[in-house]
Structure 1
């Protein structure tokens, strides 16, 4: 079984049931499945076949759902990409990922036209119209016509009887590019089995069912949303309440109007909802469950939110390489604040020492994971794959401990990893950009606590130009990095601390600059 087949089966028995609401317009499972089938037919006619790579440069919208499920139905491998990435970041993923077709928002057309010469493998650019008429774009006027096609026109002209190829559960369904310690993203290859099993196991563990209405405001291109707030509800016959961009006001409105039952978010979102003024806590009375992930939830925020809105928050843990969920706080046993919970169904977590031997209860070691959700490997990176997957176990690089009841606690994150609003930022990635600046001699990057984002990026630089300002460097970074990766603070030093081999000692750096 795979996600696309499951959607088709659900549509056969729940054809009239709402699959999602977007901009207050409902779409049934029957309508969704028909759109997926017709778009898959058109992808097939464009020459997209089993094993080809299709990138999604789309925010939260029906376009993303239809695009992803249609690509899967035709047997293609989907590569979701953050649409706010810079040309440098997008270009690397497109070329490294051997992308044959891009499905993108019309707002990105100028960017795609500009990037076309460097997108050597891309044959088709399918543009999703976001205008009021949903079809007003005259693609014949574009400079790279006929490479560009209209999403709306393709869907409307497809064959509703199209039947895709037979898929093997070990075929690669998704490649998720995660920030790499070398400064370049790595593509985690997730199979149909990985995605289906994790969505099914999360659904079963959290008891997501056809009566649930799930607020889908996390970014769909992020695997947390994709599994927990998109695939799992659709697999269970639930209804998505799609939020194009997180807004506390809009989230509260949708919860009240549609009597939402599940909300999934990162700790930053919970903090913004908690702080939002003039909200009657009773407006969230329909919620039976809130789900938190992406980064550690401060215990103070967790308790304050639960007390104010009288709703249970289940905090969990996952990573892209595990599709992503491995743990959640269970619903049938006490929740432990500060814990990532217990292993979900069919997934095994354990804490080991440097030799791979399990450590005693309460002792700190590296968290490793095994299960049907663990990735096939990194795309075109066999050495990285071998270093991460050992004897069937995924080595997460996170330090953790387990108590006597099987609850896990993350003690420290991957070395030097910065988590900004639930998104991973590796220091080396930022430093690569800084080192390309002609006036910067040395640079080091760390994360510093932030009440809204959890952490923000803080950089230390040594420069040969005394006139170079903090604003100059931040503006330079903004040209080459996604917004959440751009430093919030720059601190100038005469030299950076190093060990005897010359390695910069990030952990000895202490921020002095405050804003």
Structure 2
């Protein structure tokens, strides 16, 4: 309701995680220049900023990336861009498939807001919101789908790991299911298809910068495999290799897609870094077939994927180094059977009185839950490469071997 009200006023909305702490909130306000703060409990006019949101040419929606420390990155979209993305989604999915759509994802998350909620409403269909599912609800999830005659919904792999372990399947088969925002193994994909009673289970691919979905591969496709995300839903894929964009082969994935972002809010330099003409670099590594079918094989960025929520390793480094008794930190992802990854870190303390659990508790007070390390180990030296930079991948490999 607040989002549509802001748009009705002709202003730009900034969607944020309601669980952010006071410091993060101030970072978001300072970065965006927001004039008003809306939440479930209050509407507060903010002190005048140097520039207000409605001064941006065409901006209607800003989705914030991590902002625990430093300046958060705001992905900016226009109404016209969102409309193009929603239209492309409906061309790929079909409006009748979304007759009864269920959203189990948070609405500050592009996957939940744009992929599930706005796409269903744009199709003129029914939308059911179930943003927070507790354990008792998980055990009855199949029955919930039957009760509301759900025809479509999309979620993340970690959600499915919990549902498959706790709930009997629905009596009726859904028409279509999407899984995205994190890597999906072929084995889990098959289990989801069996539970849902349909092969129309799509490993969907998208990101905040593209207004969520840009492609999807069905379990029924002959070429399905780990990382297979099918052909683009509007637009084109390319791969960056040898300083050029290619129509097939291996490389960093680049995309030209309906609904692509206007850019990063107030950060033209960062925007230029990811743009090559009309194509945007995604940070994903993949293999692109001649028919434009894409299979993802890895990432170029230091992101930790916690149940579909992306946490920058550098962000957690800065959070930890903000503690009075931490000299240096190296953060990375570690495997988790439910969420896919958890945050962990090596820390070089300046005091021998600092305790790891005390440090984790301090992080909980100063950052959202996703960015809080679940495991910290104190070290006398952080691994570095020959250029003096943190050897994050090496540190991650060493600690995963040690801990697991």
TM over 0.5: yes
Highest CA radius of gyration, 1 or 2?
Answer: 1
- 2:155 is aligned with 1:268: no
**Conservation of the 8 A alpha-carbon contact between 1:89 and 1:481:** yes
1:341 match: secondary structure: strand
SS of 1:357 mapped into structure 2: strand
Instruction: Quote the offset at 1:469 in angstroms.
Output: 1.5
Change (3 A) 1:414 1:481: farther
The counterpart of 1:233, out of the listed 120, 124, 143, is: 120
Give 3-state SS (helix, strand or coil) of 1:508's partner. helix
Residues 82 and 211 in structure 2, CA contact (< 8 A), matched pair in contact too: yes
1:348 is displaced (CA, Å) by: 1.1
Assess, with a 3 A threshold, how the Cα gap between structure 1 residues 284 and 475 changes in structure 2: closer, same or farther: farther
Contact 1:349/1:369, CA 8 A, preserved across alignment: yes
Query: For each residue in 1:376-428, what CA deviation from the matched residue of structure 2 results, as whole angstroms up to 9, or x when unmatched?
Result: 11111111111112211111121111134432111112322110010000011
CA distance in 2, matches of 1:430, 1:339: 27
What secondary structure, in the 3-state scheme, does the structure 1 residue paired with 2:244 have?
Answer: coil
> Structure 2 residue aligned with 1:453, among 327, 333, 339?
339
2:315 is equivalent to residue 380 of structure 1: no
Name 2:11's counterpart in structure 1. Answer: 76
Residue of structure 1 in register with 2:348 after alignment = 462
Is contact 1:241–1:254 with CA below 8 Å preserved after alignment? no
* 2:257 is aligned with 1:371: yes
2:360/2:374 contact within 8 Å kept: yes
- Secondary structure of the corresponding residue to residue 487 of structure 1: coil
Q: Which runs of 5+ in 1 are unaligned?
A: 1-65, 123-166
Residue equivalent to 1:48: none
SS of 2:245's partner is coil
CA distance, structure 2, for counterparts of residue 257 and residue 83 of structure 1: 29
How far did 1:201 drift?
0.8
| Unaligned stretches of 5+ residues in structure 2 | none
1:325/1:285 Cα in 2 relative to 1: closer, same or farther (>3 Å)?
same
Contact 2:385 2:391 in 1 (8 A): yes
Q: How does 1:57-72 map to 2 (within 5 A)?
A: 66-72=1-7
The C-alpha deviation readout for 1:153-211, integer Å capped at 9, x for no partner, is: xxxxxxxxxxxxxx9xx721111112389953211111112111111111220123276
User: What secondary structure sits across from 2:35 in the alignment?
Assistant: strand
Tell me how far 1:252 sits from its aligned partner.
Answer: 3.2
Q: Is contact 2:234–2:257 with CA below 8 Å preserved after alignment?
A: yes
Counterpart CA distance in 1 for 2:160 and 2:198 is 12
Counterparts of 1:255 and 1:475, CA distance in 2: 38
Pair 1:370–1:284, CA change in 2 (3 A): farther
Give the structure-2-normalised TM-score.
0.90
The TM-score, its normalising length taken from structure 1, stands at 0.71
Alpha-carbon offset, residue 356 of structure 1:
2.6
Aligned alpha-carbon RMSD (Å): 2.5
2:300 equivalent to 1:414: yes
